[in-house]
Amino acid sequence: MHSNYKILIADDIHPIFIEQVEAAGYQCDYQPAIKLDVALQIIADYAGLVVRSKFNVDRNLMDAGKNLRFVCRAGAGMDNVDEAYAAQKGIKLINASEGNMDAVGEHCVGLLLALMNNFKIADAQIRAGEWKREANRGYELKGKTVGIIGYGFMGKSFARKLSGFGVNVIAYDKYKTGFSDQCAREVSMEEIVKHSDVLSLHIPLTSETNGLVNDEYLFHFKKPIFFINASRGKVAQVRAILNAIKQGKILGAGLDVLEVEKFPALAEQEWFNDLIQSNKVMLTPHVAGWTFDSYREISEVMAEKLIALRLLPAD
């Protein structure tokens, strides 16, 4: 079959993607176990590449893919794809933020409620034979101000999930204006820092956001906050979060992402032992957007977007 029709699927995705794009005329080569060196050798035979996070789609891979016309990333961001180089080469990029935004929104609410009500600590105490009611008195969300940084698909989803809790949701987005809606009010970063009881990050990793949350940034918050990060780990410095917990500036942190992820590299970080010993931190392994439901929805969104591009040659 002509390379215009062929897609290399280099990661595990839901079969609905293959079903839908093959019905539209593409041929899928499903190789979820493929290694980068092998992909480099064969990518010239394909018009499309589908990846999650297995490897970076960089200049080398795009140069090797001389017939490459599109790259689909089965997830929200494009931080493992060289977007600027893809634009230079005329390679279309497709992601699927819509496919996992509800998963992320719900996960963030779950982390926040667990932190505010000491679920992790209370559960461990009871299992250890301790019954401590007063020590586990929690906070209610009602009446609190939740500050959201980044008001794209993920930020909006979190705001929608919070709409039944009687909270005041404020949002800042450096790249958008006029986005206030029934779920959140657009504000400046200064207002986020001044008013927030909760801070949640929903921003991509860029040169501007890398290390955004550091000691100096957290120093300026006027009230103690609950902190949630389900965006990208390198946006928030773990040591700064731990310092703010020690200082009482962060009451609890829910982290689905970390500066360094996966073992053994994670255990080698200077902050790792302090992180896992803190009972004011709840950790999940970068799964906020990765539910049984979003697994399918991401593939459906990717297929729909690819078909809409109408890249197949006319018969």
CA distance 295 to 289: 9
How many helices (H) and strands (E) in the chain? Answer: 12, 12
User: With a cut of 70, which residues of the chain have pLDDT below it?
Assistant: 1-3, 313-315
Instruction: Please compute Rg for the chain using Cα positions.
Output: 22
CA distance 145 to 166: 10
**Cβ atoms < 10 Å from Cβ of 67:** 14
Residue 310 DSSP SS3: coil
Q: Are 231 and 150 in contact (CB under 8 A)?
A: yes
CA distance 227 to 175: 22
Report pLDDT for 17. 97
pTM score of the predicted model: 0.92
Dump pLDDT digits (tens) for 151-203: 999 999 999 999 999 999 999 999 999 999 999 999 999 999 999 999 999 99
* Bridge partners (DSSP) listed for residue 30: 9
Report pLDDT for 98. 93
Q: Which residues contact 173 (CB under 8 A, 6 or more apart)?
A: 149, 150, 151, 152, 155, 179, 186
Report pLDDT for 77. 82
